[in-house]
Structure 1
Amino acid sequence: MRGVASMVIRTGRADLDFGGIRAEFGLPAEFPAAALAEARQAAGRDMAGDDREDATHLPLVTIDPPGAEDLDQALCLERVGRGFRVHYAIADLGAFVVPGGALDTEVRKRGQTLYLPDGNVPLHPTVLSEGAASLLPERTRPAVLWTFECGPDGEPTDVRVRRALVRSTARFDYEGVQASFDAGTPHPSVAALPEFGRLRRERATERGAVELRLPEQEIVPNGDGDWKLAVRPRVDVDSWNAEVSLMTGMAAAGIMLAAGVGVLRTLPDADDGAVDALKRSAHALGVPWPDGVTPSRLLAGLDPSRPESLALFVDATRLLRGAGYTSFDGSIPPVTTHAGVAAPYAHVTAPLRRLVDRFATEVCLAVTAGREVPDWLRRALPLLPGLMGGSDALAGKVDRACLDQVEAWVLADRVGQEFDAVVLRAEGGGADVFVTRPPVMGRATGEDLPEGERVRVRLTEADPARRKVAFTRVVG
C-alpha cells in the first residue's frame, strides 16, 4: 500500500504509555553494571589495529526506517559486465562482545531487541547498538563484509566473507530511496537495485518462496506527545532490499551446511493438505488458480490492494507454520530448508538486533578462513534454538499487546460507530476483520461474514484495560 491510513490519539491524558506492558512481560529497564561496563570498554577500542581488510573506499549506503540508529547493514551494488557485484557490510558484533563475558551473558538472556512505541528494549547497550557498532554515515566501523559476484540472472557465482573496516557514505530510508527511483535520480550505489531485486524476486518465485503482502500496522508518535496508528507503506524498495539480505542468509546457510556445523532458520514444507485448503479458499474467494501454478507464483501475482487478496494472504499463513532454529555439529539435520525462502537459510544480517546472527556469522568467518570453529562457539550452538525460540515468542506477544493497547485507546470513545472492513478469515462463529480507517485488526461476530468481502461493522467493545476490541456485522 502506498498511502498511510492513520488516526491520532488526542486525549490530553498522561497515562497513555506502555509501562503496564513492560511490567506484565518483565522487560528489563537497564543493563547490569558489569555488562554496561564491558560495552563501554569495547566501544572505546581502536579497531583499526585488527587484521581487517580496509574497505573504507566502498561507497556503501544504509536503507532503514526513518530515525533508526541501530544500522546493521550497508550496501553497494554495481553492474559488472552483464552481471552484478554486491558488497554487503554487516555490523561486526563479534568485535565487541567477549564470549562468556558479562555482556554475552546478558544478551543471551534478551535474544533480540524489542520495539515498543515509547522506546526500545535493546539487545545491546546503545553505546554499541546506536554508537560504536552501528554503521552510521561518515564513521569508520568494523564490519563483516560479504561480496557477491552474480551472473545476469542474479544468481551468485562467487561469494567472499571477511572482516573489514567500512565507512558508510549516506543514510537513506525506504520511502526516500523509492522516491529517488520514481524520479529517475537514484544514488549510484543502489542504481542497479531495481533490476537486481526483480531478478532475485523472480528466482525466489521459481524456487517456490512464499511472500505474504499483508498490511503492516505501526504505532508512531505524531510529534505532539500522542500516538497514531498507521499502515506502513509497502514500497518496491522493501522487497528489493530484502532480497539482498535473503541472498546473504542463503549463502551463509550453504557455508555452514558444507562444513557440517552451524545454526539455520528452518521451516518445514507445508503438507498437501495445507495447499489443498488454500486452493479451496482461493476458489471460494473467486481467485483463479490455473493448473500447474504453484502457491508461490499465484501469491506473487495477486494485487495486495484487493480484499480477496488480503484474505488469501491470511489463509496462506497456514503454509508457514513451524518456524524455528536448528543447530548442528557433525551431522546434517533432517530439515535444512526454510519453506518461506524455499532454500536453506540462516540469520546473519541483523546482529545488532538479533542474537543468533553473531554466532552464525562467526561460524561462516571461521569456515571460510580455514580455521577451526572455536570451542566456545560450538558449545553455544545447541543453546541458540531455545534462546531464540523464547525470544521470538516474547517479541510476538509484546508486539501484539502494544497494537491491541493502541487499538483500544484509539477506539475507546467510538463504541457504537460503524466502520468499513474486509473479512480476512472466518472461523469459530465469527471472523477476523481489517478495518481500514483507522487501521485495526479485530474480531467480528454476526451473520454472513464471507472471506474476502467488504462489509460494514459496528464497534461493540473497546476496553483499554483489557486491550480488547470487538465488532459485529451490520446487516442491511
Structure 2
Amino acid sequence: MPRRHVQLQPGQTLPDGPAVDGLVRQGLAALRHELDIPVGFPAAVTAEARAARPHPDGDDATDIPFVTIDPEGSMDLDQAVHIERAGAGYRVHYAIADVAAWVVPGGAIDDEARVRVETLYAPDGRTPLHPPELSEGRASLLPGQTCPALLWTIDLDEHGAPTRTRVQRRRVQSRAQLTYSGAQRSIDDGTAGETLRLLKVVGLLREAAEVDRGGITLPTPEQVVEQQPDGTWTLGSRATLPVEEWNAQISLLTGMCAAQLMIDGRIGVLRTLPAADPRDVERLQRSAHALGVAWPARATPGDVIRHLDASNPAHAALLTEATSLLRGAAYVAFDGEVPSYTMHAAIAAPYAHATAPLRRLVDRFVGELCVALSAGTPVPAWARDALEELPGLMASGDKHAGEYERGCIDLVEAALLTARVGEVFEGAIVDVRADRDAGVVQLRDPAVRGRIEGVDLPLGTDVRVRVVAADVATRTVRFEVAQPPTPRGAP
C-alpha cells in the first residue's frame, strides 16, 4: 500500500508550540512502546559492528566517478550512480552498499536485522536496521570513502532498454554527496556534470518505457512531519522533483534486472503485485465519471492516473480510490522452480528489491544471489538457507513499518487540532464508505484527513466541516458536516 499523502500549504505549523511539543513527544513515546519499537542496539550488536572488517573480495573500481543523490542530511547512503554514453546507447554503473561484506551470517548483527527487518522513520528520528557505525559510517557510500559495493553495470540501447547486465563485487568511492534540490538546480541551470545530464536523458527514456509497459505511478506529494529548530512541529507536503523520479528509474531498472537474473537462475526473491481486479478498475472508472475526471476510451488506469493533480480535490479523491488497484503486494521466494506469477503489476514487469540493503533486510540476500548468478558460481549457503523465511519476515516488517508511519502521522494530525474542537474548516470529501454512512474529509488548511459521519457524502466535492474530536492519546480526528456540501459546478 502506498504512503498516505496530502496537499498542504508549506510551513503549516502546529499552534501552541511548547504544549503541542509535549503532546507529540509523549504520544510518540507511547506509540513506540505500543508497537515495541527498539531503542538503541544490544551491546553485542554494537560491539560486532565496531569490530567488523569487510571481507577482501572485489577488485578496485575507485576510478569510476560516482555520485550519490539523496535527501539533505542523509547518512545511510545505499546507492551511487555514474552514467556514460556507450555507442548509440548508455552504460549505467550503479554501486550498491555491500552490507554482506560486513555482516557475519548468523552473527549478532544478522540476528538483530532479522528482528528489525527495515529502518523505521518517525518525526523525531529513525530506528535503523543496522548499527549506525555501519549504516551511517563505514558501510555507507559517503564521499571520499572507499567502500565495498555491488557494482551493477547495465548497458542500454538508444531507447533505454537493457541489453546486458553484470553485477560484481568491487571497491568504489563516491566523489560527491548531492541533494535532490541541488542536483535539480544544477541540471536546470546547465552546470550539471555528465552523470546528471545523462540521468535526465536515461530517466526520461525509462519513464517512457514505463508508460509503454502500462506501469502505474500515483503522482501524489509526500507528506512530511518535521520539528523546526524553535520546537514547533510542521506538517507539510513535498512534491517530488523530476531528478528524484529519474533517480528512482535507475533503482527500478536495477530491480528489474535483478529479478530477471534470478528468474533465469531459478532462485531468488521477487516483489510481486497482482493485476488489478477488473471490478476495482470498473469502480474507479465510475468514480472518475462521478468526479468529472475524463477517462478516454481505451485508456488504462495508468494513463488516467499519471495525469492527475493531487492539489485538485476531485483528482485527490480519485487518487485515494486508485490505491485499491495496488493491493496484494508480496515477497515470493523460490529455489528450483520459478513461480507461476512473477509480475509486479504497478511496474508492469518482474521486479525485486535490490538497491537499499542498509535500510531493508531482503536486499542483502537479493544482492548476494545476483552476484553469484552473474558470475556463474554457487549461491552461498547462508543466502539460500534464508529464502524460506524471508517472505514472512518482510511481510511482518512492512506491516510494522506501516503501522508506525500511520501512527506518527495520525498523532501529529490529532495534535494539530487538539485545541480547535468545534471550529469549522474548508475541505473536500476524498473517500466514501456508503455501507457505514461515513467517509474521509481532507482539510485544506491545516492539511489533515479524518473520519466524517453523515449521509450521502459527495465524493470529491467541497464541504465545510466541524471538528468533533481530536484525541492525541488515540490518534484520532473526527468531523461532522457543518453545512450542506457544495455541489460540483455550483456557483
Partner of residue 45, structure 2: 35
1:233 Cα deviation after fit: 2.6
AA partner of residue 473 (structure 1)? V
| 1:26 corresponding residue in structure 2 | 36
For structure 1, which segment, 271-280 or 364-373, has the greater mean C-alpha deviation from structure 2 after superposition?
271-280
Equivalent in 296, 302, 307 of residue 296 of structure 1: 302
Structure 1 residues 24-423: aligned runs within 5 Å: 24-42=34-52, 45=53, 50-423=56-429
Mapped to 2, the partners of 1:297 and 1:202 lie a distance apart of: 12
AA in 2 matched with 1:371: T
Confirm whether residue 471 of structure 1 aligns to residue 479 of structure 2. yes
Kept after mapping to 1: 8 A contact 2:437/2:456: no
Change (3 A) 1:409 1:2: closer
Unpaired segments of 5 or more residues in structure 1?
none
Compare 349-358 and 237-246 and name the one that shifted more.
237-246
TM-fit CA distance, 1:346: 0.3
Shift of the 315–158 alpha-carbon distance from structure 1 to 2, 3 Å rule, reads same
AA matched with 1:287:
V
Moved more, 419-428 or 160-169: 419-428
| Cα distance change, pair 358–100 in 1 and its aligned pair in 2 (3 A) | same
Contact conserved, 2:9 with 2:445, CA < 8 A, in 1? no
Q: Which runs of 5+ in 2 are unaligned?
A: 1-6, 485-491
User: What is the CA–CA distance in structure 2 between the aligned matches of 1:41 and 1:173, rounded to whole Å?
Assistant: 31
Deviation at 1:386, TM superposition (A): 0.5
SS at match of 1:186: coil
Runs of 4+ in 1 over 6 A off after TM superposition: none
SS of the equivalent of 2:388 reads: helix
Contact 1:457 1:473 in 2 (8 A): yes
C-alpha distance in 1 between matches for 2:365 and 2:73: 28
Q: Percent identity?
A: 49
Higher mean alpha-carbon deviation, 319-328 vs 309-318, is at 309-318
Shift of 1:34: 1.8
Matching residue within 470, 479, 489 for 1:462: 470
Q: Distance in 2 between matches of 1:185 and 1:214?
A: 29
2:489 alignment partner in structure 1 = none
Deviations 1:439-464 (A, max 9, x none): 22222223553222233222221111
Does the Cα contact within 8 Å between 1:5 and 1:436 map onto a contact in 2?
A: no
Distance 1:163 1:396 in 2: 33
Give 1:273 deviation, angstroms.
Answer: 1.3
Amino acid at match of 2:228: N
User: What amino acid does structure 1 have at the position aligned with 2:29?
Assistant: G
Does the residue aligned with 1:381 lie in a helix, a strand or coil? Answer: coil
After superposition, the Cα gap between the structure-2 partners of 1:15 and 1:464, relative to the gap in structure 1 and judged at 3 Å, is closer
Partner SS state of residue 382, structure 1: coil
**Residues 9 and 96 (structure 1 numbering): CA distance in 2 closer, same or farther, change over 3 Å?**
farther
Deviations 1:38-95 (A, max 9, x none): 11111xx266xx2313221222111111111111111112333432221111111010
Deviation of 1:9 (Å) = 4.8
Deviates more, 1:210-219 or 1:433-442: 433-442
Distance between the aligned counterparts of 1:384 and 1:473, measured in 2? 47
SS at match of 1:297: helix
Normalised by the length of structure 1, the TM-score is 0.95
Q: Provide TM-score, normalisation by structure 2.
A: 0.92
Q: CA RMSD in A?
A: 1.7
Residue number in structure 1 paired with 2:460: 452
Whole-angstrom CA distance in 2 between matches of 1:293 and 1:73: 35
Distance 1:10 1:131, change over 3 A: farther
Q: Give the direction of change, closer, same or farther, for the CA distance of 1:362–1:399 in structure 2 (3 Å limit).
A: same
CA gap of 1:9–1:120, structure 2 versus 1, over 3 A, is: farther
| AA in 2 matched with 1:264 | L
Q: How much does 1:127 deviate?
A: 0.1
